[in-house]
Amino acid sequence: MPPPQRPLGPDDQPEIIDVSAFAASETPAGSQSLVQVFLHSADEADVARALASESDPDAHRTGTTTLATEIRRGQRISVVLDAGSLPVDEPVQHLIWRGTPSACQFFVEVPAEAEVGLYPVRAIVTVDTIPVGSVRFRLRVVPRNEKRGGVELHGEAARRYRRAFLSYSSQDRAEVLKRAQALKAAGIGFFQDLLNLEPGERWERRLFREIDSCDLFLLFWSSSAARSEWVTQETEYALNCRDRSAEEKPEITPILLEGPPIPTPPESLKDIHFNDPIVYVISAIGAERPSRSPTVP
């Protein structure tokens, strides 16, 4: 007779949590902007806003766009802040989800010579180097000495990834399967040919159908992938899907298995930003993360 199963406790159950980004409504050139990325349950959104406001007594909330993903208590989450041309002090930060609102705080430098206008920013949430969601917003830069507004909750585009497509060379399969466990732990479904194709199934047709239905396309990039005709075809198809989609789906994210320097991509994939520093940052998280917590399956 098998031993009785231990009842699941609260730390074993995945929780739906929200990710909210707070920033000042305006940032003068020649100063810093504090960006706070909070993880919190839906019913504690006001608590997160209050905590964010402690950095600015004039905090106010003008709108909400949040991102939900399933996380277990005790799980280590990494947040990467990409502010494009604006430097970020410590752009990669980590936290452990304990069931209460928690934040990563980033300082975005706005140079004195920065042009007035809107600057795109994205906060990328990762679990074991795999992006599980993102929040996009814009920082408004105003002339120097202009009065700053209070803290606002930003989020012009937020996405919970529900299904991923893994594109890779067969020579990299062992490494890709390791990364796929992070998707499973985060509650994200995924298609991977070895695991999902039925015997005798027309795999070319199934591959493209799966790309049509995914919202996250993970391109595992290596020398072998650069030589793979099928990796190129899958990625070109994903690019076409994204360009046709009003929601810009799927979101295409390279996961670097080699480099720098990275293997040179074909001309048809030049629109993918392999040289974006944030791609290296995401890939580097895996090298520094501690051994897996026993609370993560």
Lowest-confidence segment of 4-8, 67-71, 183-187 by average pLDDT = 4-8
Q: Is residue 277 part of a domain?
A: yes
Q: Is residue 21 part of a domain?
A: yes
149 and 259 fall within a common domain: no
- Given 113, 143, 160, the domain boundary residue is 160
pLDDT digits (tens, 9 = 90+) for 11-22: 557 777 888 888
Q: Which residues contact 214 (CB under 8 A, 6 or more apart)?
A: 163, 164, 165, 191, 249, 250
Look at residue 51 and tell me whether its pLDDT is greater than 70: yes
Q: Say which CATH number the domain at 117 has.
A: 2.60.40.10
**197 compared with 213, residue with greater pLDDT:** 213
User: Residue 93: beta bridge partners?
Assistant: 79
Q: Are 95 and 77 in contact (CB under 8 A)?
A: yes
pLDDT digits (tens, 9 = 90+) for 247-275: 788 888 888 888 777 888 888 887 776 76
pLDDT digits (tens, 9 = 90+) for 76-87: 888 999 998 899
- Residue 6 — very low, low, confident or very high, per pLDDT cuts 50/70/90? very low
Omega of the bond leading into 260 within 30 degrees of 0 (cis) = yes
If you count DSSP H runs as helices and E runs as strands, how many of each does the chain have, helices first?
Answer: 7, 16
Backbone angles phi, psi at 244, to 5 degrees: -85, -15
Q: Give the pLDDT of residue 293.
A: 37
**112 compared with 183, residue with greater pLDDT:** 112
Rounded mean pLDDT, 145-165 = 63
Range(s) of the domain holding residue 31:
15-160
Total domains, the chain? 2
131 and 214 fall within a common domain: no
- Given 136, 160, 184, the domain boundary residue is 160
Q: Say which CATH number the domain at 204 has.
A: 3.40.50.10140
- Please, what is the average pLDDT of the chain? 75
50 and 111 fall within a common domain: yes
Q: Is residue 3 part of a domain?
A: no
Q: Give the pLDDT of residue 223.
A: 92
233 and 154 fall within a common domain: no
% of the chain exceeding 70 in pLDDT: 70
49 and 61 fall within a common domain: yes
pLDDT digits (tens, 9 = 90+) for 221-250: 999 999 998 899 999 999 999 888 887 888
